[in-house]
Amino acid sequence: MYSRNIKETPKSIIHNGKANFGTYKKVTEKLEIRGLKFPFIGIPTPKFFSNMRIRSRIAYMFNIGTYIGMVEFLDNKAFGLAEVIFWNKDTNQRFSYHTIMPTRKRFVPTNTQEAACTSYRKTRYIKVNWSRKHKRHSLSFTVRGDKFRPAAKGSFIATFNKPETPELLSVTPAPTTSKCSATWLIPLKIKGGINTGKHRKDIKSFPNEEGLALMAMNRTYLKLHSKSEMMCGLVNIDGKDIIFRFTNTNQEAINSDEYNDNILSVDSSITPMPPVCITHPFGINNKWVVQDTENMVDLSFTPISCSNRTLNILIIRNVYTTIYGTFEGVLLTQDGERIVLKNCPGIVKKNLLRL
C-alpha cells in the first residue's frame, strides 16, 4: 500500500536559499517561496526577475445544494484574473463570470493565518477570506448578469482552525530541486448557498444548505509553457464527507512518488495519494480515465458540460477548459478503506499557460 510520510511543519518553506520539500500536516505562517538560490539552471538571477516567474493561484471548488462549481483567482504579477463558474446539477445549466483585475502589489496573499483575496469590481465582486483567530473561512460573490445569463450571489461559510478542519501543505520540486511549488489544501464543510435573479438587487437572501468545498492555494516557479490537469470530486456517502483532488502537470516532481499534491479526505482524515495517470483517449468531451500503479485509484470521469475560454493579454496566453461531470470507480484510503463512487459530482480543469 502506498504511503507518504507526513512531517512536522517547518518555520518557513525556504531556508538558507533551499526549499524544505515534503508533505506537512499544517501550513507555515506564510505560503512564501521567494528566496531560492539559482532557481534557473544554476545561473545567478536578480531577485526581481526570479520573483517575476512566481505565479500564484487560489482555487475553491464547491458542491452545495443544487449547484457545483469553482471560484478561482490567478495572480499573473502584471494583472489578476478572477472567475466564478457553476452548474445547476438538476438542469446542467452553466453560469460563468470572469474579470480582469488591474495591477496591484499582490493579488493572492501569502498570509495563511488571516487574509483575503478580493476582486473589487462592482459587477464582479468576489472574495475569499480566512481567519484563524475568528475560526472562520468564507467565500462570497456578487456578479452582474446580462442578456445571456442572470445575476448571481453566493455565500459560503465554514469553521476553520479546529481539529475537525484538516489541512495539508505540500512542497514539491518543480520539476527539479532548483525550483519549487507549494500548495496549501483545506477540505471544508460549508453552509450557505447560491441565488440567481434578473438583477442583483432582486436577490435578497441565500439558501441555508450544507455542502462541501476544497480550497487549494498554490505558489510555483512557472515554466514559460505550462500544462496542467486538475480534477476534484466532492460528495457525501453514507454520512461520510468524501473530497479528493488529483493533478497532472508538466512541472510535477521527477520523484512524484515522494512529492505530489494528490489527496483524499474522508471526514477529518486526509490520505496523501500516489501520482496518477489521467487520460482522455477519445477527447476531453468524452470519458476520462484516472489510475495509479498502487491500486488505490481506479476512476472514470464522464463530462456533462464544458466551458472553454482563451485569454490573450499582452504576452500571456491562457487557454483553459472547465468541465462538470461525474466520477465512477473506487478509491482506497491509507487504512485500506474502500470508497466506492457512483455518480459522484466533480470538476475537471485543463489549462495551458504561455508566458
Q: For residue range 231-272, what is the model confidence (pLDDT) as tens digits? A: 999 999 999 999 999 999 999 999 999 999 999 999 989 999
| Mean pLDDT confidence for 103-128 | 92
End-to-end CA distance of the chain: 40
pLDDT of 53 reads 83
- Strand-pairing partners, residue 60, are 71, 215
pLDDT of 102 reads 81
- What one-character-per-residue DSSP string does 255-288 give? TTTTS---EEEETTEEEEPPP-EEE-TT-TTS-E
Amino acid found at 332: L
Instruction: Please report which confidence band the pLDDT of residue 8 belongs to, taking 50, 70 and 90 as the band edges.
Output: very high
C-alpha span between 198 and 212 (Å, rounded): 27
pLDDT of 318 reads 84
Decide if 54 contacts 79 (C-beta within 8 A).
no
Q: Evaluate if residue 214 carries a pLDDT over 90.
A: yes
Decide if 22 contacts 7 (C-beta within 8 A).
yes
pTM attached to this predicted model: 0.95
pLDDT of 43 reads 67
Least reliable range by pLDDT among 17-26, 61-70, 195-204: 195-204
**Percent of residues, the chain, with pLDDT higher than 90:** 75
Q: Evaluate if residue 34 carries a pLDDT over 80.
A: yes
Decide if 251 contacts 222 (C-beta within 8 A).
yes
For residue 105, give the 3-state DSSP assignment. coil
| Mean pLDDT confidence for 168-187 | 95
pLDDT of 23 reads 97
pLDDT of 305 reads 97
CB atoms within 10 A of CB 211: 21
Instruction: Please report which confidence band the pLDDT of residue 101 belongs to, taking 50, 70 and 90 as the band edges.
Output: confident
| Mean pLDDT confidence for 161-171 | 86
C-alpha cell at 54: 512566481
pLDDT of 311 reads 81
C-alpha span between 100 and 86 (Å, rounded): 19
- What one-character-per-residue DSSP string does 31-77 give? ---TT-SSTBTTB---HHHHHHTEEEEEEEEEEETTEEEEEEEEE-S
Cα 184 to its chain centre, rounded Å, is: 9
pLDDT of 162 reads 74
C-alpha span between 126 and 146 (Å, rounded): 18
Mean pLDDT of the chain: 92
Query: Tens digit of pLDDT for each residue in 289-345?
Result: 999 999 999 999 999 999 998 888 767 788 999 999 999 999 999 889 999 999 999
Q: Evaluate if residue 105 carries a pLDDT over 90.
A: no
pLDDT of 42 reads 64
pLDDT of 125 reads 96
